Amino acid sequence: MDITESLKGIIKDSPTAPFLFIGSGFSRRYLGLEDWKGLLSKFGAKLPTGFIRYVSESNGDLALAAEKMAEPYSDYWWSLPTSEEIANRPEWHTHISSPLRHDICEYLNAVILDEKKHQEELNILTSKKTIIDGIITTNWDLLLENIFIDDKYKVYIGQSDLLFSNPQKIAEIYKIHGCCSDPKSLVLTKSDYEDFHKKNPYLAAKLLSIFLEHPILFIGYSLHDENIKSILCSISAMMTNDEHKQKLAKNLIFINRSHGDEDSISNTHFSFEEGKSIPITQIKTND
């Protein structure tokens, strides 16, 4: 079955336009950015032992590795001639991880979209013929704000900004892991993730109506992504109504790379801990 026609059918059956849920694969494709491990490795390379020491001591837990790297990176950063000048700016966030946050954000703020690379795809995505009600993302970069700039999307940065506001669920971008425009907002270290997970049920409650009312197209995420598992698990746990569960399942559409195989669309399951899972639609394509 043609995946385009199948996807059209799913969207046509919904009374509302889709939301996009955008992950790091999107920024890798259109900005050439590193994945999370690559990004941490880039800044860890400035330290004597590189990033390998911290990721090894953390048994591969990247959030814990970022936390372990924050202090030695701070020692390195404060030895630079410009450090004191930067730290005296009014927006400086006083924390051991601030130097690492600052440099990551400076790097991401400087990344420029290569308009020759996959520009036709982005033109289709941002065309006036393409109707999208909103975007949720765990990405820190500014790609989404820049490509949807003409549509004047309102941006919510971090969990708190979304939790303590009244989003209208149209022409909005929810940057739930923070943004490079605000270094202290980044969900970067183990402590940041622990704080994020404590608030997950509240975030899930905020997102639940979106997930029930809109098709959600996940782009740039693996089916094994822990961040998505955590959010979907919290949303699934809130629902006891079978009708709502069926509606949710129909609305969850994961678009993944086919890696050279034929395009396909199929029904599968997204698995959580303890053998729990929810049905989803998976599309595989390189287009």
Domains detected in the chain: 3-33+115-284 (3.40.50), 36-110 (no CATH)
Model confidence pLDDT, tens digit, residues 15-59: 899 999 999 999 999 999 999 999 999 999 999 999 999 999 999
Identify the CA nearest to 231 among candidates 250, 246, 216, 214.
216
Per-residue pLDDT averaged across 57-66, rounded? 96
CB atoms within 10 A of CB 173: 19
User: b or e along 190-219 (b: 16 or more beta carbons within 10 Å of the residue's beta carbon)?
Assistant: bbbbeebeebbeebbebbbebbbbbbbbbb
Per-residue pLDDT averaged across 259-272, rounded? 85
Q: Are 269 and 279 in contact (CB under 8 A)?
A: yes
Bridge-based pairing of strands 216-219 and 252-256 is parallel
Q: Which residue has the tokens 């990033």?
A: 51
Q: What pLDDT sits at residue 36?
A: 92
